[in-house]
Amino acid sequence: MAWKKHEPVDYFGYFRASAEAASCAADYLYRFLREFRYEEVSRRVEELHHIENDADMTKHEMTRHLAKEFITPIEREDVVALSQALDDVVDAIDDVMQRLFMFDVRAIRPEAVEFARLIVSCCGALEGAVGELKNFKKAKSIPSDLVGVNSLESEGDALHARSMRRLFTEPIEARETLIWMELFDALELCLDQCEDAADIIEEVILKNT
């Protein structure tokens, strides 16, 4: 029997696919919140959940390869950590949409649209960094992309504080206040998860330079 050369697993390709899924989910959420229609919530929840399921499949497929591989381009624990962090971004975005459905939200506050815009930009910067990770020693855009993620997360912190203050200084029903407290926390978490993934990328680069 002729010996067949074993093709190396493209882990960086899996990372790119996961980052692209995050950007796709972020864009979907932003467009829905910007053009919100209550009657479409159920359908939109299912459609965004399909994106999340596809992202899970990407992570699981990569994990199956990792279980059989002895040699990886970066440390095994870093492969696991980054793939999980990228998947967590998609999960967090999906969770926002799920909460819109569970809480029966009928109107969107403008701060939520602003949060979603930040999430789109943050996922875009993260996708840029992930896309260059394979050639990080030559890539010049990764540092600026990582700084971009951190800056956008800081903007999200400030937006969260302003949004929460408005909830407690405007005359709105207690039920509405509780719902939007949960939603603003969930939206902020999306940015936090992006920053966690960016931190892992930075650690990988430091370990390998």
Read off the pLDDT of residues 32-57 as tens digits, 9 standing for 90 and up: 999 999 999 999 999 999 999 999 99
Query: What is the reported pLDDT for 70?
Result: 75
Report yes or no on 3 lying in a domain. Answer: no
Residue with tokens 């950590």: 81
Report yes or no on 131 lying in a domain. Answer: yes
Report yes or no on 66 lying in a domain. Answer: yes
Query: What is the reported pLDDT for 159?
Result: 98
Sign, Cα dihedral of 127, 131, 133, 139 = negative
Report yes or no on 6 lying in a domain. Answer: no
How far apart (Å, rounded) are the C-alpha atoms in residues 92 and 36? 19
- pTM above the 0.85 mark? yes
How far apart (Å, rounded) are the C-alpha atoms in residues 23 and 10? 20
Report yes or no on 202 lying in a domain. Answer: yes
Report yes or no on 4 lying in a domain. Answer: no
How far apart (Å, rounded) are the C-alpha atoms in residues 63 and 10? 12
128: containing domain: 11-207
Query: What is the reported pLDDT for 73?
Result: 86
Report yes or no on 99 lying in a domain. Answer: yes
- The number of domains in the chain is 1
Q: What residues of the chain score a pLDDT lower than 70?
A: 1-7
Query: What is the reported pLDDT for 17?
Result: 96
Query: What is the reported pLDDT for 6?
Result: 54
CATH number of the domain to which 88 belongs: 1.20.58.220
Query: What is the reported pLDDT for 135?
Result: 87
Backbone angles phi, psi at 31, to 5 degrees: -65, -35
